[in-house]
């Protein structure tokens, strides 16, 4: 921290640690509840591991194959995360800060790959290019499915960032690329890090894509442990290793984030003088086009091809409609529950740093890399014994969605709250507003687009979720993901395609809602 | 800002209301599992057995509720549920999942009369589960490229270098993995590893599933494919024998390449619906149930004397049983480690 730039950044940084010693009850209590819920599967895993006994645990951990598979998982996560950050930040910058022709279209299309389940994309790729099996294909498919996790928060951050800092830097003689590296990247770093964390954890927990692309990683061994010997202790030990890995990664991310930049003073989001790309517009526009073609056009094209091939067999319209309704319904419940849980944790993490907050926040992330099957079985075990009356009913499934996806929303809430000025809250408080008033009238409205983004992300992710939904759904309820699973299980790709397409269409809706929300916020004078 | 806030507030209120109604409504109007109904956990695909289970309801008058998922996931779920389970009957795609439940004392003993309905060797020796249908591993081949396959007696023949790059297989398919387990049990670990290394050296083409393997054989992309018999019969029934170029060949019955796998059912211990559950198993083993498997899924009936009216199946009795005990096919973990080691995942 010796360069003048760094010191300037230091000065613009809000005193985020202020008030850390006093965690308000109305934030602390719900946060503890959320952390407790996300701890459930870990408690279950500890019980199962304890059953195995120390020597068996040591044997499982020290196996050569376990070490090999951890290495592969980490390699895959590292590659997918770096590529996703590069693509996500790059596309968000092109869409908001440049004069790239068609940037509005780009901004609208870039998040849509989120609507495509990784198992659908993986299947589309491997049937077209069988040589993709293995690491290369897994990196390709997961990156194309995951970069929006980075793109969305970075886009929101860029739209909300005060362009004044960039303008000052430019007026002081910095070149556009220097401004990009020294100012813009710093402004989006918390958002990119939060998104990168989600990508890394998603990659660790993904089973569908790696199993179709036949790249043997950690999740596959966990599944195998269940499938082969029904040895739940082995699966539990391996899952706990995954939890440790998750904690390590999320602690790393919070180190990066420690240098968050918050806005000082009024801070205005307004139209930005776009960077002129000049001759670069064609290569950059072309690259963006290629990303969209690979991530969006290709898998949707495959679905359409199967759809047309399967048309002759007819479509069960009633079942399709029922699946759409059930998917929308359950995902909506999941999104609401995750958002409600994420708001207190996210605000705590942005405004009341301290050891209490750190522990609570890290706990919510701990279970995020667990494969869905592990979380589902943990809730099976607890659900049957503790709350049998909601077992295999919507509430328990929604609880599983909270465990699996609350970190998605926490990251979004935290980075958008962190980006808005603390001063507004301080002024409100000095004018006599109560802390809950400040929350309701200042903090939440300022962070609304970010919270909206978080809800939309959770909504999309819940729609695609398969393993937990399969085991915990109400009896007789089919979601689009479970119907897709049923049809592909007998190789009926033509019959599966309508469900895949409906899933993509359904998942596009929250994305559009999210984009409109952000746009409107920008256009409204304050 | 105001409009955003209003939009957020309205949507939040709407969603909250929805949540409340959801919790009060027992999950969006679906019927909860009832104590009076027979609850079946089916690891077999709804598209395959859904119509049969509907018939079961019609024929026996039993109120049936079915939950579908993968066999192994359901077995794990049943183990976690323990005595709290609402399931009465487990209908599994393979014997391994049933064996795991039996090992954990989660399955009740079936009545002698039920066990006696199937051919020898198709029920658990301890009477905890019974097979309901069977499937055989076969070699699918393109007669134009490999007419000599009809002479094959053992799966070792596919190691011949003349098939280099011309064999299709589905490495992630559970039946292929069972075959590799059988290979380990018959040839020993070293022998199996040697076989797999030679197989890998022959550069076989990996496909996502058996259907795609059969497609590849049928279109001549590969000369041979390692698949289950019923994929071919279904294809022939769908397209007509003349339109299917691929043929299938059964290896000697004691060869691991001719492994016979089964699907089966077992009744959960402590089920309050045992009587109805036994009726359901008996229905699956009845002439109607067995004919359904023979006709609709082209699997082998396990009850003597029932033949398919649609498919020209080689009688199960002629296949004999491979020398591998189905209960010993539960060492999948080592099989997958071995496949990974030789690079065939």
Residues of chain A with Cβ-Cβ distance to B342 below 8 Å are none
For chain B, how many structural domains are there in total?
Answer: 2
Distance between CA atoms of residues B63 and B279, nearest Å: 12
Q: Which stretch of A315-324, A336-345, A426-435, B22-31 has the lowest confidence by average pLDDT?
A: B22-31
Same domain as B198, residue B50:
no
| B3: confidence class by pLDDT, cuts 50, 70, 90 | very low
- What is the predicted pLDDT for the residue at A21? 52
Torsion sign over Cα A319, A321, A324, A328: negative
pLDDT for position A514: 65
Across the interface, whether the CB atoms of A377 and B337 are under 8 A apart is answered no
Higher-confidence position of B31 and A296: A296
User: Which residues lie closer than 8 Å to B52 by C-beta, 6 or more apart?
Assistant: B284, B289, B292, B296
| pLDDT for residue B15 | 43
B309 belongs to a structural domain: yes
Q: Is residue B159 part of a domain?
A: yes
What percent of chain B clears pLDDT 70, i.e. is strictly above it? 86
Q: Where are the beta strands (DSSP E) in A207-260?
A: none
> Average pLDDT in the B133-162 region?
93
Helices (H), B25-116: 46-60, 71-81, 95-103, 112-115
pLDDT at A266 over 60: no
Q: What integer pLDDT is reported at residue A355 of this predicted model?
A: 86
A126 and B CB contact within 8 Å: yes
Confidence grade of residue B280 (pLDDT, cut at 50, 70, 90): very high
Report in angstroms the alpha-carbon separations of B145 from B161, B168, B214, B219, B246.
14, 14, 15, 11, 10
Residues in B closer than 8 angstroms to A127, CB to CB, are 208, 212
Concatenated DSSP letters for A487-519?
A: HHHTT-HHHHHHHHHHHHHHHHHHHHHHHHHHH
pLDDT score, position B243 = 86
Q: Are residues B249 and B275 in the same domain?
A: no
Tell me if chain B has a CB within 8 Å of the CB of A452: yes
**Which chain A residues are Cβ-neighbours of B211 within 8 angstroms?**
491
Indicate the average pLDDT of chain B. Answer: 84
Tell me if B289 is assigned to some domain.
yes
Residue B209 lies in a domain: yes
Asked if B152 and B139 sit in the same domain, the reply is: yes
pLDDT band at A161 (very low <50, low <70, confident <90, very high): confident
**Quick one: which H or E segment has residue A129?**
none
| Angstrom distance (rounded) from CA A306 to CA A493 | 6
pLDDT score recorded for residue B30: 44
Collect all residues of chain A within an 8 Å Cβ-Cβ radius of residue B31. Answer: 475-476
Q: Which residues on chain B are in Cβ contact (under 8 Å) with A490?
A: 45, 47-48
| pLDDT given for residue B66 in this prediction | 95
Check residue B19 and give its pLDDT: 42
Say which range, A268-272, B17-21, B218-222, has the weakest mean pLDDT: B17-21
Distance CA B128, CA A300 (A): 47
Comparing CB atoms, the residue among B77, B100, B172 nearest residue A211 is B172
3-state secondary structure A416-437: HHHHCCHHHHHHHHHCCCCHHH
DSSP state of A18: T
Span A210-228, pLDDT tens digits: 888 888 888 877 877 776 6
Judgement on whether residues B77 and B215 belong to the same structural domain of the protein: no
Q: Are residues B66 and B152 in the same domain?
A: no
B123: domain range?
38-134+261-313
Nearest neighbour of B84 by CB, restricted to A216, A388, A474: A388
The B residues from 14 to 33 touching A (CB cutoff 8 Å) are 15-16, 18-19, 22-23, 26-28, 30-33
**Binning pLDDT at 50, 70 and 90, where does residue A230 land?**
low
For chain A, percent of residues with pLDDT exceeding 90: 29
pLDDT value at residue B322: 55
In angstroms, what separates the C-alpha of A287 from chain B's closest C-alpha?
Answer: 31
Which residues in chain B have their CB less than 8 angstroms from residue A226's CB? 72-73, 76
pLDDT the model gives residue B324:
61
Residue B236: pLDDT over 50:
yes
Same domain? B239 vs B143: yes
Tell me the shortest Cα–Cα distance from B151 to chain A, in angstroms: 31
> pLDDT category, B261, cuts 50, 70, 90?
confident
pLDDT at B85 > cutoff 60? yes
Between B345 and A247, residue with greater pLDDT: A247
The Cα A206–Cα A218 span in angstroms is 10
Q: Where are the domains of chain A?
A: 19-257+287-523
B327 contacts: CB under 8 Å, gap ≥ 6: B95, B99, B124, B125
CB of B45 less than 8 A from some CB of A? yes
Residues B69 and B81 in one domain: yes
A413 Cα to chain B: minimum distance (Å): 14
Would B74 be classed as within a structural domain? yes
Range 381-440 of A in CB contact (< 8 A) with B: 381, 384-385, 388, 391-395, 398
How far is CA B175 from its chain centroid? Answer: 8
Q: Tell me: pLDDT of B25 over 50.
A: no
- Report which of residues B70 and A519 the model is more confident about: B70
Q: Can you tell me which residue has the tokens 């699973």?
A: A485
pLDDT score, position A32: 92
Confidence of residue A290 (pLDDT cuts 50, 70, 90): very high
Looking at the structure, tell me whether residues B243 and B142 fall in a common domain.
yes
Where is average pLDDT lowest: A506-520, B30-44, B69-83, B157-171? A506-520
Contact A471 B75 (CB under 8 A): no
- Residue B247's pLDDT is what? 93
A vs B, Cβ pairs < 8 A, gives 172
- Residues A417, A193: Cα–Cα separation, whole Å: 15
Encoded tokens for B52 = 């049969």
Handedness of CA A382, A326, A492, B63 (dihedral sign): positive
Summarize the confidence of residues A454-465 as an average pLDDT.
88
A517 vs A333 pLDDT, higher one:
A333
Chain B residues in contact with A517 by the CB 8 A cut-off are 4, 7
Helices (H), B246-344: 274-285, 287-292, 316-319, 332-341
Q: pLDDT grade, residue B172 (50/70/90)?
A: confident
User: Within the 321-350 window of chain A, which residues sit less than 8 Å (CB to CB) from chain B?
Assistant: 326, 329-330, 332-333, 335-337
Contact at CB, A524 and B68, closer than 8 angstroms: no
Contact B4 A448 (CB under 8 A): yes
| Non-local CB neighbours of A526 within 8 Å, separated by 6+ positions | A268, B1
What is the crossing angle of helices B46-60 and B274-285, to 10°?
110
Higher-confidence position of B5 and B43: B43
Query: In the structure, what pLDDT confidence band is assigned to residue B178 with cuts at 50, 70 and 90?
Result: confident
Domain A19-257+287-523, CATH number (from 3.90.1150.10, 2.40.128.50, 2.60.120.260, 1.10.3720.10): 1.10.3720.10
pLDDT at A271: 64
ipTM of the shown complex: 0.82
User: Per-residue pLDDT for A182 more than 50?
Assistant: yes
pLDDT computed for residue B111 by the predictor:
96
Alpha-carbon distances, residue A408 vs A147, A257, A327, B257 (angstroms): 14, 16, 19, 47
Q: Do residue B202 and residue B241 come from a single domain? A: yes
Interface residue A232 vs chain B (CB under 8 A): yes
Greater confidence, B322 or B232? B232
pTM score > 0.80 for this model?
A: yes
Is the per-residue pLDDT at A525 higher than 70?
Answer: no
Q: Do B204 and B242 reside in the same domain of the chain?
A: yes
The verdict on B82 and B59 lying in the same domain is: yes
- DSSP output for B140-187: EE-TTT-GGGGG--SGGGGGSGGGTT-EEE-TT-HHHHHHHHHHHHHH
Q: Does residue A7 surpass a pLDDT of 80?
A: no
- Is the pLDDT at A298 greater than 70? The verdict is yes
User: Pick the residue with more confidence: B237 or B244?
Assistant: B244
Q: Is A214 on the interface with B (CB under 8 A)?
A: yes
Mean pLDDT of chain A: 83
CA distances A463 to A196, A380, B14, Å, are: 21, 20, 19
Q: Assess if residue B177 is contained within a domain.
A: yes
Using the predicted structure, report yes or no on whether residue A268 has a pLDDT greater than 80: no
Mean pLDDT value across residues A341-345: 93
Asked whether residue B29 is assigned to any structural domain, the reply reads no
Judged by CB atoms closer than 8 Å, whether chains meet at B47 and A492 is answered as: yes
pLDDT exceeds cutoff 80 at A12: no
Chain B hits for A452, CB-CB cut-off 8 Å, are 8
Dihedrals φ, ψ of B276, to 5°?
-65, -35
Contact at 8 Å (CB) between A35 and A368? no
pLDDT at residue A328, as a whole number: 94
Answer whether residue B6 is part of any domain: no
Q: Which residue has the higher pLDDT, B120 or B208?
A: B120
Q: How far is B315 from chain A (nearest CA, A)?
A: 24
A176 at interface of B, judged by CB pairs closer than 8 A: no
A322-338 pLDDT tens trace = 999 999 999 999 999 99
Phi/psi for A142 (5° steps) reads -70, -35
Mutate to test the interface with A, among B27, B66, B204, B235 (most CBs of A within 10 A): B27
Q: How far is A224 from chain B (nearest CA, A)?
A: 6
Shortest Cα–Cα distance, B1 to chain A (Å):
6
Strands (E), A188-339: none
Residue in B42, B73, B216 with CA at minimum distance from that of residue A467: B73
**A79-132 per-position pLDDT tens digit:** 999 999 999 999 999 998 888 888 888 888 898 888 888 988 998 888 788 778
Query: What's B45's domain CATH number?
Result: 3.40.190.10
pLDDT at residue A287 tops 90? yes
Q: Which of A226, A475, A489 is facing B72, going by the closest CB pair?
A: A226
pLDDT at B238 over 50: yes
Q: How confident is the model at residue B327 (pLDDT cuts 50, 70, 90)?
A: low
The CA distance from A520 to B3, in Å, is 8
DSSP B19-51: HHHHHHTTTTTPPPP-SSSEEEEE-S-HHHHHH
CA A310 to chain B, closest CA, distance in angstroms equals 14
**Which chain B residues in 94-113 lie under 8 Å from chain A, judged by CB atoms?**
96-97, 100, 104
Q: What's the pLDDT at A134? A: 85
The CA distance from B205 to the nearest CA of chain A, in Å, is 9
Quick one: B295 and B169 in the same domain?
no
The more confidently predicted of residues B198 and B21 is B198
Confidence at B82, pLDDT banded by 50, 70, 90 = very high
Hey, are the CB atoms on B75 and A336 less than 8 Å from each other?
Answer: no
């Amino acid at each position: 921290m010796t360069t003048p730039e760094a010191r300037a950044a230091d000065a613009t940084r809000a005193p985020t640690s202020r008030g850390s010693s006093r965690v308000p009850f109305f934030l602390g209590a719900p946060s503890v509840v959320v952390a407790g819920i996300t701890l459930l599967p870990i408690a279950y895993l500890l019980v199962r591991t304890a059953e195995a006994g120390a020597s068996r645990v040591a044997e499982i951990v020290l196996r050569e194959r376990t070490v090999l598979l951890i290495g592969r998982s980490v390699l895959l996560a590292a590659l997918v995360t770096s590529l996703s950050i590069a693509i996500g930040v790059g596309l968000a910058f092109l869409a908001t800060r440049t004069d790239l022709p068609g940037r509005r279209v780009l901004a609208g299309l870039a998040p849509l790959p989120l609507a495509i389940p990784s198992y659908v994309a993986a299947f589309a790729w491997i049937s077209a290019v069988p040589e993709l099996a293995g690491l290369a294909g897994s990196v390709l498919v997961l990156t194309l499915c995951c970069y929006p996790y980075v793109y969305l928060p970075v886009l929101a951050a860029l739209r909300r960032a005060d362009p004044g800092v960039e303008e000052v830097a430019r007026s002081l003689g910095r070149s556009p690329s220097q401004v990009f590296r020294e100012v813009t990247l710093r402004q989006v770093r918390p958002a990119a890090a939060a998104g990168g964390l989600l990508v890394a954890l998603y990659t660790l927990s993904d089973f569908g894509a790696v199993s179709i692309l036949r790249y043997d990683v950690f999740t596959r061994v966990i599944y195998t442990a269940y499938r082969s010997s029904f040895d739940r202790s082995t699966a539990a030990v391996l899952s706990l290793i995954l939890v440790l890995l998750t904690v390590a990664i999320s602690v790393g991310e919070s180190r990066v984030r420690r240098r968050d930049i918050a806005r000082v003073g009024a801070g205005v989001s307004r139209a930005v003088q776009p960077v002129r790309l000049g001759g670069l517009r064609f290569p950059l526009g072309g690259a963006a086009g290629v990303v969209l073609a690979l991530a969006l056009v290709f898998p949707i094209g495959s679905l359409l091809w199967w759809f047309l091939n399967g048309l002759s067999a007819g479509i069960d319209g009633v079942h399709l409609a029922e699946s759409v309704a059930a998917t929308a319904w359950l995902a909506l419940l999941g999104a609401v529950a995750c958002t409600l849980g994420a708001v207190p944790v996210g605000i705590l993490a942005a405004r009341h740093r301290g050891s209490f907050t750190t522990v609570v926040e890290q706990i919510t992330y701990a279970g995020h890399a667990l494969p869905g099957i592990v979380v589902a079985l943990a809730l099976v075990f607890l659900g049957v014994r503790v709350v049998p009356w909601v077992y295999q009913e919507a509430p328990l499934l929604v609880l599983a969605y909270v465990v699996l996806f609350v970190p998605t929303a926490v990251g979004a809430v935290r980075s958008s709250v962190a980006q808005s000025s603390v001063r507004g809250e301080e002024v409100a408080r000095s004018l006599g507003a109560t802390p809950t008033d400040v929350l309701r009238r200042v903090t939440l409205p300022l962070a609304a687009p970010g919270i909206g983004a978080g809800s939309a992300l959770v909504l999309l992710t819940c729609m695609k979720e398969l393993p937990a939904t399969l085991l915990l759904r109400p009896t007789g309820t089919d979601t689009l993901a479970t119907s897709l699973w049923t049809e592909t299980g007998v190789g009926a790709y033509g019959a599966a395609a309508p469900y895949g397409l409906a899933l993509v269409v359904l998942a596009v809706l929250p994305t559009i809602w999210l984009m409109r929300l952000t746009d409107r916020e920008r256009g409204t004078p304050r | 800002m105001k409009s955003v806030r209003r939009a957020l507030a309205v949507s939040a209120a709407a969603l909250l209301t929805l949540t409340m109604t959801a919790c009060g409504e027992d999950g969006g109007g679906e019927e909860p599992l009832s104590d009076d109904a027979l609850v079946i956990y089916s690891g077999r695909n709804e598209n395959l057995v859904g119509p049969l289970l509907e018939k079961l309801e019609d024929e026996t008058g039993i109120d049936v509720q079915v939950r579908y998922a993968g066999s192994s996931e359901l077995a794990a779920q049943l183990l976690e549920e323990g005595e709290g389970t609402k399931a009465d009957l487990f209908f599994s795609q393979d014997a391994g999942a049933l064996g795991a439940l039996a090992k954990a004392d989660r399955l009740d003993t079936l009545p002698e009369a039920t066990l006696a309905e199937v051919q020898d060797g198709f029920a658990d020796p301890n009477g905890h589960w019974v097979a309901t249908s069977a499937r055989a591993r076969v070699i699918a081949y393109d007669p134009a490229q490999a007419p000599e396959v009809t002479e094959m007696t053992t799966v070792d023949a596919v190691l011949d270098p003349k098939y280099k790059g011309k064999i299709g297989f589905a490495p992630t398919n559970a039946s292929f993995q069972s075959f590799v387990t059988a290979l380990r049990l018959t040839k020993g670990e070293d022998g199996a590893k040697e076989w797999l290394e030679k197989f890998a050296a022959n550069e076989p083409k990996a496909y996502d599933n058996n259907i795609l393997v059969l497609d590849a054989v049928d279109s001549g992309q590969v000369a041979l494919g390692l698949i289950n018999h019923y994929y071919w019969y279904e294809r022939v029934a769908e397209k007509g024998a003349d339109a299917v170029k691929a043929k299938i060949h059964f290896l000697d019955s004691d060869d691991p390449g001719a492994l016979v796998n089964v699907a089966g059912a077992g009744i959960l211990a402590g089920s309050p619906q045992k009587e109805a559950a036994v009726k359901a198993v008996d229905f699956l083993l009845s002439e109607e149930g067995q004919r359904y498997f023979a006709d609709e899924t082209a699997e082998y009936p396990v009850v003597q004397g029932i033949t398919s009216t649609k498919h020209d199946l080689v009688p199960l009795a002629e296949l004999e049983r491979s020398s591998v005990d189905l209960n010993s096919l539960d060492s999948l973990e080592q099989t997958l480690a071995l496949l990974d080691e030789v690079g065939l995942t």
